[in-house]
Amino acid sequence: MSDSWPRRRLLAILRGASEPLDAQELARITGQHVTTVRFHLDVLTKESLVRQFQQPPRGRGRPRIGYSAVQRSVGYQELAEVLADQLGSDSRRRSEAAVTAGRTWGAKLDAGDHAVESLEDAKDVTVTLLSELGFAPERDPAGESDEQVLVKMTACPLRDLARTHSEVVCNVHLGLIDEVLDRNGARGVVNARLHPFVEPELCVVRLELVAARRNPENRDLAVPVGADRASVGEPPLTSTSVGRMGPQVRNADTDIAKQSAQQW
């Protein structure tokens, strides 16, 4: 269609029309013969660029066929995938760039004013944030302790993209959570980790007291999204270590950890 000026003109007219137009009306507007207009309309219809509507006849005769342009919605899923692919092939750099993007997003949000001084405070801020963004969060009391709180993300607006680009999508979400928590005073108090797809339709955010608060002699460790945990000195996840987080995250394949406060 793009190489046909008559069809582009017809499509532009139909997009600007407030109601369907028939071939006779379009022929009058464009100055083309009605048979030529019908030919172009047939092509546009086959390309799913216009849609036909039956209209009442003018006086006696058969019903008229009206045409209206198909309103195409923006393919946000496709756009997000293209943007994710532009972050390069190095998984660590993609992860770090995604965290930075998430933090930038979080800095622009109105996150309220709820001082984070405890795990309970961090949980409240996280649940509120995720609720507003459509993640349908649920608290998981079974996985809670004095050192951690689990929040289940039962929905995700970009779930399909996250299945193929988890190091990007999940790190954007992690950076967003990090930024909002830090803006409310969580830096040095609480760490956030994100465990994607612990079940086919479920991700989990783990909020935990920073290592320095549990043991002042240990530095808090950070694992970028998609990075090898051993490459940064953190032991790999095992059935025992994951089990301590509660039964809901025993099947996690990847542990997406918060960037440490020292890196920011």
Tens digit of pLDDT for each residue in 38-94?
999 999 998 888 999 887 777 676 778 999 998 765 566 676 778 788 887 888 888
224: confidence class by pLDDT, cuts 50, 70, 90: very low
pLDDT at 244 over 60: no
CATH class of 89-263: alpha beta
* pLDDT for residue 78: 74
Question: What would the pLDDT profile of 172-204 be if each residue is shown by its tens digit?
Answer: 999 999 999 999 999 989 999 999 999 988 999
**Amino acid letter at 120?**
E
The residue among 248 and 39 whose pLDDT is bigger is 39
Eight-class DSSP state of 259: P
CATH fold of 5-69, please? Arc Repressor Mutant, subunit A (1.10.10)
The residue among 119 and 231 whose pLDDT is bigger is 119
How many Å is the Cα radius of gyration of the chain?
27
Same fold yes or no, 5-69 and 89-263:
no
* pLDDT for residue 5: 81
Mean of pLDDT values over 128-145: 87
Q: What percent of the chain has pLDDT over 70?
A: 74
Mean of pLDDT values over 6-24: 89
pLDDT at 249 over 60: no
Question: What would the pLDDT profile of 147-163 be if each residue is shown by its tens digit?
Answer: 999 999 998 888 888 88
Per-residue b or e along 151-169, where b marks 16 or more CB atoms closer than 10 Å to that residue's CB: bbbeebebbebbeebbbbb
**How far from 98 is each of 31, 41, 143, 221, CA to CA, in Å?**
53, 45, 28, 19
* pLDDT for residue 123: 92
**How far from 219 is each of 98, 131, 213, 252, 260, CA to CA, in Å?**
24, 32, 10, 24, 9
pLDDT at 117 over 50: yes
Residues whose CB falls within 8 Å of the CB of residue 162, separated by 6 or more in sequence, listed in order:
156, 169, 170, 196, 197, 203
Of 19-23, 47-51, 130-134, 248-252, where does mean pLDDT reach its minimum?
A: 248-252
Domain ranges of the chain: 5-69, 89-263
* pLDDT for residue 3: 58
* pLDDT for residue 231: 38
